[in-house]
Amino acid sequence: MFIEQPSIILRALYPKAIWRMDPKEKAVYLTFDDGPIPEITPWVLDLLDKYEIKATFFMVGDNIRKHPETFRMVVERGHRIGNHTFNHIRGFEFLSKNYLANTDKANEMMKTDLFRPPHGHMRWAQYHVLKKYYKIVMWDLVTRDYSKRKNGKQVFEIVKKYVRNGSIITFHDSLKAENNMKYALPRSIEWLKEQGYEFKLL
């Protein structure tokens, strides 16, 4: 089970993946999964501009196909792009050749060296190939803003409870996460700044 802060055992499954940045540095790294979505992503971009923060957006290729203007907004504002497959598919549910083909299809639109697997899992064969071509970025803190069992206040509390030096923090610029994310993200940024964290780009 993938929880707010993955265990050492879970991290060991993908030893070459990036789970956390420098634990000696009081800095955090914001990431957003599942966009671009025109109803959500521009709101996130405006908020990040307000605080002069750059983030990494792990995008779904089919969403880029449907919303190219929103994709360009993210790029033009200086944020990093990561591959999140073309159809947001689970690695365990697909043959490796099909999963890798889906990832390649997405990267034709993104041209990135960053990859994050949807739902945080890959077959070993998929991981073995992908790590040759990408920096595989996982997370140190997943906010669970997508959860129907959480509200915005609870998502904010997750950030406060689990953040630490070097945390790669995952929010979602998706319709499913919209209400929780819009509540928790600005409050999390304000609180993290109050605690002395610097926001850095992967």
Q: Give me the active site residues, please.
A: 33, 172
| DSSP label of 13 | T
Report angle CA 68, 72, 76 to the nearest 5 degrees. 180
User: Angle CA(73)–CA(76)–CA(38) in degrees, nearest 5?
Assistant: 5
Q: Which two tokens stand for residue 141?
A: 């803190």
Which structure tokens are listed for 108?
């034709």
Which amino acid is residue 133, in one-letter code? Y
Cα→Cα distances 107→62, 147, 189, Å: 11, 28, 30
85 contacts 59 by C-beta, under 8 angstroms: no
Q: Name the strand (E) or helix (H) holding 89.
A: none
